[in-house]
Structures are given as C-alpha cells and as structure tokens.
C-alpha cells in the first residue's frame, strides 16, 4: 500500500525533550535521566524521569503520528461504527452493515454456484489479527445498542463460540497487510473486502449456523432477489456488550 509521506516531510519538528538511559555493569538496574531542550537546542535541566513524563511518553508512543495514524478516521466518524479501541496491543473496531446484496464465492467441493445474494445486517469485530462476524435481527431503520442480541452469521468458515471466544472467521491465505497502518475507513473496507472476496470452503461448526441445511440454502438463494429470511437465523446467546473488553 503506497502512502503520501510529503505532509510528514514538510512538517517542522522541534526537539523539546531528551532521555539518557544509564545501566549498571550487570545490567540489572536502569536509571533514566530526562533533559529539557532550550531554544538553542541544548539539553538543560537534567532530572530523573518523572511519572508525568512517563505517562506523556506512553501516550506519544500510542499516538497516530508514531503509529502511522492507525485506525484514525479520515473525516467524521462513520455512523455505522459502534466502538473503536486503539490501545496498544488491544486495538479493535466494532461496526455493522445494513442488509445488502453481495457476491458470494464458494469452492467447487461445496457444489454451490458463485453469484450474488442478499445477506442480513451483520456485526463485525476486527483487530490486526482476527475478524469476527455475527448476524443482526434489526427492525427497519433500527440501530444496534449494547443489549442487541447477536445471531450466528449464515456463512461457512466461521468458528463456533464453544471453540473460540469470538465467532472468528477462517481467512485462509488472504493477504492482510492492510491492517498494519490503515486509517479507520481503510481498515474496515479492507476487512469487508477480504471477507467477501475469499471463497467459502468448509464448515467450522458442528452443525449448520442456520436452521436449514446451509449448503441447500445457498444453492437456492444465489441469484434470488428476495430479502434474507431472518427466521433462518440462530441465536448466538450473547449481546454486543459481550464483545466489548
């Protein structure tokens, strides 16, 4: 993914703080000394690193500037975004999509023809390393809330809640390089594209995630221009609140 670095190159950065790390010969003890930088660019006012400076340094290391603006929106926060957690080592986004008509691809072993079909409203939770997808049973023009119940996504390649904590999707060999430095919009678009452009290949659940046989269901619904039958959805027995940590 190409990135425009000109805005960073043209910015003027002024030094304002310096750190000097001391260690004992056995390297068991470390002491950090902090310096302010005066208007001439010289280090002054040497002092032990304070708690406030530690906090500011931690926030700086997690900021968009040093994290390549990871999960930073390009504009206003999209209305379908429910949660953005950008803390170090625990970044994830939760969003939802309205019912839509999408292209579904299947491997030859399933004997389901590729084609477009209507799918229900979906709830997505994604981090740099995994994607979880659930179905929603929303009223017309309704929006999800913390207490909104989740349903099993009516697709192949999704693990059972009893096996993993979330309804994780097996992405196979899909290239996920986009997740490393993406803006919020690129991150969401990349995960959705990876999900819809991959081929459904196998069941990761012991039983069908819908009330009907999932193979026969999609065989009869590819190319059919009718809304997804919400009566087919099976409860996941959790709510959106369960996904927030």
Q: Give the model confidence (pLDDT) of 38-67 as tens digits.
A: 888 888 888 887 767 666 665 565 544 444
**162 has a pLDDT exceeding 90:** no
pLDDT mean across residues, the chain = 82
What does the block give as tokens for 103?
A: 């292209």
d(CA 183, CA 180): 9
**Please, which pLDDT band fits residue 36 given cuts at 50, 70 and 90?**
confident
**25 has a pLDDT exceeding 60:** yes
**What mean pLDDT do residues 162-167 have?**
48
**Please, which pLDDT band fits residue 139 given cuts at 50, 70 and 90?**
confident
**Please, which pLDDT band fits residue 32 given cuts at 50, 70 and 90?**
confident
Q: How far is CA 59 from CA 11, 67, 217, in A?
A: 20, 11, 50
**What mean pLDDT do residues 147-165 have?**
80
Q: Give the domain ranges of the chain.
A: 6-62, 81-243
**What mean pLDDT do residues 197-221 have?**
92
**Please, which pLDDT band fits residue 14 given cuts at 50, 70 and 90?**
confident
Higher pLDDT, 12 or 186: 186
Q: How far is CA 97 from CA 138, 140, 142, in A?
A: 11, 13, 12
Q: Give the model confidence (pLDDT) of 120-133 as tens digits.
A: 999 999 988 889 99
Q: Give the model confidence (pLDDT) of 70-92 as tens digits.
A: 788 888 888 899 999 877 667 89
Q: Which pLDDT belongs to residue 133?
A: 94
**5 has a pLDDT exceeding 90:** no
Query: What dihedral angle (degrees, nearest 10) is formed by the CA atoms of 97, 235, 150, 239?
Result: 170
């Amino acid at each position: 993914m190409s990135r425009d670095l000109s805005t960073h190159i043209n910015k003027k950065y002024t030094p304002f703080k310096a750190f000097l790390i001391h260690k004992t010969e056995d390297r068991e003890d470390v002491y950090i000394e902090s310096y302010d930088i005066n208007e001439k660019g010289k280090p002054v006012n040497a002092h032990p690193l304070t708690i406030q400076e530690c906090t500011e340094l931690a926030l700086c290391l997690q900021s968009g500037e040093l994290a390549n603006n990871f999960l930073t929106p390009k504009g206003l926060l999209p209305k379908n975004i429910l949660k953005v957690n950008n803390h170090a080592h625990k970044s994830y986004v939760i969003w939802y999509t309205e019912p839509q008509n999408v292209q579904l691809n299947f491997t030859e072993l399933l004997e389901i023809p590729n084609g477009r079909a209507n799918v229900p409203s979906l709830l997505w939770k994604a981090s740099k390393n995994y994607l979880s997808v659930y179905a929603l049973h929303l009223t017309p023009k309704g929006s999800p809330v913390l207490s909104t119940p989740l349903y099993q996504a009516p697709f192949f390649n999704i693990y059972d809640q009893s096996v993993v904590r979330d309804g994780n999707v097996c992405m196979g060999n899909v290239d996920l390089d986009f997740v490393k430095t993406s803006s919020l919009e690129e991150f969401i678009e990349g995960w959705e594209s990876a999900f819809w452009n991959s081929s459904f290949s196998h069941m990761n659940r012991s039983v069908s995630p819908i009330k009907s046989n999932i193979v026969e269901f999609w065989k009869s619904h590819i190319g059919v221009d009718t809304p997804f039958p919400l009566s087919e959805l099976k409860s996941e027995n959790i709510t959106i609140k369960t996904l927030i940590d």
